[in-house]
Amino acid sequence: MRTLDDLDVERKRVLLRVDFNVPLENGPAPSAKRLVTDDARIRAALPTIQALRERGARLLLAAHLGRPKDREPELSLRPVAERLSELLDGAEVKLAESLDDVPDGEIVMLENVRYEKGETKNDPELAKRYAALADVYVNDAFGAAHRAHASTEGVARLVPSAAGLLLQREVETLTGILADPKRPLVAIVGGAKVTDKIGVLEAFLDRADAILIGGAMCFPFFSAQGHDVGDSLCEEEGIDPARRILDAGGDKLTLPTDLVAGRAFEADTAKREIDGVDVPDGWMGLDVGAGTASAYAVVIRDAGTVFWNGPMGAFELEPFAAGTRAVAEAVADAPGTTVVGGGDSAAALAKFGLADRVDHLSTGGGASLELIEGKALPGVEVLST
Ligand code: ADP
Ligand code: MG
């Protein structure tokens, strides 16, 4: 994969694709101005932005925001351009409302690329229009690299192209875990559905030394083993894949041995601890139990490499956050290399104030899972061809 060192950017116009798909909210009345509520993704691109500026590049930033059907004004990148300007100590960031009228400037940001009809179709004509605006292309949008879109793939074929520092680090870290991990390699996989994570589980069955399962996705496993799941969230289509994983997993796979259940998916619902994994009718398993959490913590502590994706329970509800918190703390304290991928897992780490305590917190949910599954990402492939 080509990197920044392979490009000459001095006095060049660099089209820099970034993942600025950040959450926005309306600010206080009367202006009700749209405001960025979490700028982590913007900050993650700063090293590449600064490196390119230091090398004398003029930047043309391209990013998507949400899934606009047409030019929906609430999905304008203007608040993002303003936030970036603040993060760059007030450097001017101009917004180009139209591809036909891109202003001159040291840092210019194109409007939401998904305002363009051909973007998600990887329309070659649109890719040409992007290419005409730049001398060089750099992709730092790891979170969008699993999509072949005009601004992530098409344009990269038309001008000299390379990976930015964030994308490079994401790819090297995540592929490194699979290729040459410090052992033991421990994968913690949780979250809502088995079918979302099946590829990841299969990849780790081949390569990990231990796989610790948590979250609602343990219920298809328990169901396959003949346990009662009560009213737990138990994905029906997940039961057969879970059975296959159980058969193939042998002694690598560890499931919870106790649970915390609630009457409903609510913070103020009745709560009970279950010693075992049979959930009575009228109750739903919403967290792993304390015994499971401490057993998992021991395995995590002794790991050479830890990969964590997916919360251990309904961590958004405080009474059911303890299992996820215990695992997050164990990962934060682990002496081995620790890598966390996935939107909700990252949100959980941030909620517990532990985001800085892991070696690598992936900015890409879907993209990081696809890399772990061993899939080729179109936005990455194109940077080596
Ligand atoms: P990630 O985004 O990290 O890949 P997922 O999207 O797969 O994670 O899963 C996160 C969601 O799973 C959270 O919203 C959480 O509330 C939910 N969840 C986890 N465990 C349970 C459970 N036992 N019952 C219901 N929902 C759960
Ligand atoms: Mg999620």
Which atom of ligand 1 is nearest to 287's Cα? 23
**Ligand 1: which of 189, 217, 233, 352 to mutate, most ligand atoms within 8 Å of CB?**
233
From the CA of 192, the nearest ligand is: 1
Residue ranges lining ligand 1, Cβ < 6 Å: 191-192, 196, 215-216, 233, 285-286, 309-311, 313-314, 316, 342-345, 365
| Chain segment 251-302, per-residue pLDDT in tens | 899 999 999 999 999 999 999 999 999 999 999 999 999 999 999 999 999 9
pLDDT at 236: 96
In the prediction, which pLDDT does 224 show? 97
- Cβ atoms within 10 Å, residue 281: 8
CA of 306 to the centre of ligand 2 (A): 19
Determine the pLDDT at residue 365. Answer: 84
Write the CA distances from 126 to 58, 103, 134, 273, integer angstroms. Answer: 21, 19, 13, 57
Residues of the chain with pLDDT under 70: none
Dist. CA 133–CA 107, nearest whole Å: 13
* Cβ atoms of residues 48 and 138 within 8 Å: yes
Q: What is the pLDDT of residues 146-191, one digit of tens each?
A: 999 999 999 999 999 999 999 999 999 999 998 999 999 999 999 9
At 249 the pLDDT is 87
Helices (H), the chain: 40-44, 46-54, 78-87, 124-132, 165-179, 194-207, 218-224, 239-249, 290-301, 322-333, 343-351, 365-372, 378-381
| pTM, to two decimals | 0.91
Q: Which pLDDT score is estimated for 242?
A: 97
- Nearest Cα neighbor of 201 from 212, 287, 350, 192 is 212
Distance 214 CA to ligand 1 centre (A): 9
Q: What is the pLDDT of residue 351?
A: 93
Q: Which of 344, 358, 363, 368 to mutate to test the pocket of ligand 1 (most atoms within 8 A of CB)?
A: 344
The catalytic site residues sit at 41, 193, 343, 366
Ligand 1 atom nearest residue 341's Cα = 3
